[in-house]
Amino acid sequence: MFGNWLKTAILMAGILALFAAIGGAIGGAQGMLIAFLLGAGMNFFAYWFSDKMVLRMYNAQEVDEASSPYLYNMVKELAQRAQIPMPRVYLIDEAQPNAFATGRNPEHAAVAATTGILQLLSARELRGVMAHELAHVKHRDILISTISATVAGAISSLAQFGMLFGSRDDRPNPIVSIVVMILAPIAAMLIQMAISRAREFEADRGGAEISDEPHALADALAKIDAYARGIPMQTAEAHPETAQMMIMNPLSGGGLRGLFSTHPATEERIERLRAMA
């Protein structure tokens, strides 16, 4: 728990520093001040509201025991096994099989699954996936995941609109501005990659322990990997900063998919789960 709080604090401090550096490179002292204030405001917003924004972005609809008893009761049983509060449960009307968890702590958490994953997986496989997402909640890494998704989008926007900072007199060389506009989104992506890869292994392990079926999660990952690549998810393509929240990379990145993937290789994840069993 302390480790994730420390990571979150470091990430938020890094956000302030990165915003200030981008603002300073593009707009001098004035740009640095404006970007620093923007970064502070983004940190506040990301902590309190980023989960709601991500769920709204995917048009996720909250369900309960009456509207979706199959999924709701599965999450309820797994949450009891994990000894965490019952999270809110959401459905996303998307054909691509995928799922994610969000929120700032286990008391304010939500899990979301696509309609595609409910159609693709067997009950034991879906149970493994939802246990994986609840492991994210239990490990308290949903906050850093959600914040990084929200802020990465903001960093990209800051870089794209960076030419607005500064006055005509002190605006730096346009070439410097262009370089910063290119590098800032890459920096945000690298932050996500560093956060996500080890985290997914831990959530796989924790999910296998919660469900007590490592093979079920391994089978689910193999199925999702096979099907997800051929089914685009338009929201994820439009907001690639949210890809690292999913159990499987939802992006159709072609040759760059491996280079910029925020997830470990599926084969390695499956191998580790099989070894647990």
Active site positions, annotated? 133
Q: How far is Cα 150 from Cα 157, in angstroms, rounded to an integer? A: 11
Q: Each residue of 208-235: b (16+ CB within 10 Å) or e?
A: bbbbebbbbbbbbbebbbebbeebebeb
Q: What are phi and psi of 246, to 5 degrees?
A: -75, 160
Residue 92 CB neighbour total at 10 angstroms: 21
Secondary element (H or E) of residue 160: helix 142-160
d(CA 84, CA 189): 31
Q: Which helix (H) or strand (E) is 63 found in, with range?
A: strand 61-63
Amino acid at 269: R
Residue reference for tokens 């994986």: 132
Q: Residue 99: which H helix or E strand, with range?
A: strand 99-103
**CA–CA gap between residue 188 and residue 267 (Å, rounded):** 26
